Amino acid sequence: MSFYDKVYEVVKEIPKGRVMTYGQIAAMLGSPRASRAVGYALHFNPRQGEIPCHRVVNRFGHLAEAYVFGGIDVQKKLLEKEGIELTDYTVDLKKFGF
């Protein structure tokens, strides 16, 4: 299984109403320094479908401009629908124990 496939397997497991950072996903894959590669896999070379990529944020809690997944406004609406509050396109990571 490729790194790319592994990233998507982790993302599919993110529970509704929860977010994860690129760094957390990279650490789960055993490559803690690969957060940039995770971001690339999800947002610059994405796989379309029912994958909850809107639940992935950078280390500051900012939404990425994943235009392929409907853009940043669509991602914000999806997160808010799941009960995740955002301020200026930023998730308060402290609420998730970061």
Q: Which are the catalytic amino acids?
A: 53
Cβ within 8 Å of residue 5, ≥6 positions away: none
CA 33 and chain centroid, separation: 16
Radius of gyration of the chain (CA): 12
Other Cβ atoms closer than 10 A to 30: 8
CA distance 3 to 68: 20
